[in-house]
Amino acid sequence: MKLFLSTDFEGTSGIVAWEQIIEGQQEYAQGRLLLTREVNAVIGGAQEAGAGEFVVNDAHHVMRNLHPQELAGEATLISGRHKPLYMMEGLDSSFAGVCFVSYHGSIGAERAVLCHTYSPAAIWEVRLNGQVVGEAGINALVAAHYGVPIVLVSGDDVTVQEAEVVAPAAEKIVVKHSLGRFAAAHLHPDKACELLRAGAHRAVERLARGDERLAPPSFALPVRLEVTFLVADMAEMACSVRGVERTAARTVSLSGENLLDIYRQFVAVVILARALADR
């Protein structure tokens, strides 16, 4: 059995500040250690239940937060920026399940630690078929395209609640409770890893016995993805991508029946808008 892990950073127990998760910052080394332990806990639990192959996509910021030699399970690591499928690079139909590890809440969440949706400097809101979604919801488009179920989601309480929309039957592991955008009540890291290991073990056991509730995400077609930016010129720039329609001053819409194409369009839109934000 082969599992795909898309790993973010903000949803790790003990993390509440950008300084903990950005390369070059003083607290980054500690944050990296906390993240690695949680990723390895997921791999370890899945291994114990019979999973034998793991691909980990380091999907946070510059995407080189995890060291290959530190990963359990002889996992393959996908790292580095500008991957064609971004947070979902490496996934295909050969995988038995997807794990979203250390994910975070959407930018519009009322109370979610370090919340954002792909780019806090560019994106104000994303709606999928009319419903506000975060990164788990957007990334689920790729899982749905390849017909792979999302079997585990970890992060703060807001993250796992938002994931119910696309992965209602996934194992949901809450490692901290958000108190605000820069505050949370954390489980002890050892306890968090214990829960992650147990959750991954359950997920693989359920896959092995053919639990029908662990089905791939499904969406009403055609899918409509609406992206609202912080400023209008970002929406104007996004319209350079074929198939993107401007529906309001700061909002563009992507729609169609090919979920992978929509995701690819979204990635292109994010990169273009972020370029404006960086200037």
pLDDT of the residue at 240 = 94
Q: Is the pLDDT at 269 greater than 80, yes or no?
A: yes
**Residue-level pLDDT at 108:** 86
Mean pLDDT along residues 205-215: 98
Q: What mean pLDDT, rounded, does the chain reach?
A: 97
Residues 73-114: pLDDT tens digits?
999 999 999 999 999 999 999 999 999 999 999 998 999 999
The confidence score (pLDDT) of residue 279 equals: 52
Contact predicate 149/98, CB 8 Å: yes
What's the confidence (pLDDT) of residue 111? 92
Q: Which stretch of 185-189, 233-237, 275-279 has the lowest confidence by average pLDDT?
A: 275-279
Q: What is the mean pLDDT of residues 134-158?
A: 98
Q: Is the pTM higher than 0.75?
A: yes
pLDDT > 70 fraction of the chain, expressed in percent and rounded = 99
Length of the chain in terms of residues written: 279
pLDDT, mean of residues 217-237: 97
The CA distance from 81 to 83, in Å, is: 6
- Structure confidence at residue 277 as a pLDDT band (50, 70, 90): confident
How does DSSP classify residue 165? Answer: G
Question: CB within 8 A of 43, min separation 6: which ones?
Answer: 5, 54, 56, 71, 72, 73, 75, 200
CA 196, CA 201: separation in Å to the nearest integer?
8
CB 105 within 8 A of CB 134: yes
For 41-89, the DSSP string reads HHHHHHHHTT--EEEEEE-STTS--S-GGG-GGG-EEE-SS--TTGGGT
Measured distance CA(86)–CA(263) in Å, rounded: 10
> Cβ contacts of residue 82 below 8 Å, gap of 6+?
271
Q: Is the pLDDT of residue 278 over 70?
A: no
